[in-house]
Amino acid sequence: MPLRQHIATLADGQAYRHAVFYKLPGGLRFRMAEGGGHFAGVLTAVRKATVVCEDVFAGADTILVHLQRYATANRFDLRPTLKQLRLAGITLPRVREIWTEPVPRSDPDDDDSWWLNALFELPRSHLASLLWCAFAKDMWELQPNPHCQVYLINPATGLMAHPYDDRGMDVVGTSHEALRQLYTAHHAWLLDYDRETMDRSFATPPPA
């Protein structure tokens, strides 16, 4: 199956970008950072997300990685991203799919810009590096930092993890049972703000 078909199936043909918990209903939202400085917050987020993702990718040898980055008409601005990925030990494999999507203009005089997408498989051993890149993306002082969205997909189970920043991580997918198991196993880390929504989907009866 072509790599892009996996994400089309997972998202039911919809374009997803950021906040996938709200764009693809029926998922989970986990609280990651627990205070402290930027470096400590990212380390805590990586540690907790690794625990959850070990269940998301249980039995899998590889991770399907979808990177998404804003790009201007000056395509050279992508070179720092590739350099930072290499510093994190991540090199895009030869087998990959790369495409662009135009960013809608709010003003006719705006310069052209795109969302650049890269989709490829990596060994599961790269999980911690991928999580670091995801959680550090908005913190310019932290390195390595490719400043891109990171989506981690398990095609076998139809689950996708999106560590959106150091505060949290969404997990969505096509398997209600797999999501229910994550809800039960990691209930203490669910984000309180959206807990009622998740309880309606997975709690029978709601936990005490």
Separation of alpha carbons 144 and 11, rounded Å? 30
Q: Is residue 208 part of a domain?
A: no
**β-sheet with 159-165: strand ranges across:** 28-31, 168-173, 159-165, 149-154, 62-72, 113-123, 96-102
- Number of compact structural domains in the chain: 1
Q: One digit per residue, pLDDT tens: the chain, 208 residues?
A: 678 877 878 877 666 777 899 989 899 999 998 766 678 889 999 999 999 999 999 999 999 999 999 887 666 667 888 899 999 999 999 999 988 888 776 655 556 778 888 999 999 999 999 999 999 988 878 899 999 999 999 999 999 999 998 889 999 999 999 999 999 999 999 999 999 999 999 987 544 5
Range of the domain at 21: 3-201
pLDDT of 92: 92
Instruction: Phi first, then psi: give them for residue 138, nearest 5 degrees.
Output: -95, 5
Q: Is residue 103 part of a domain?
A: yes
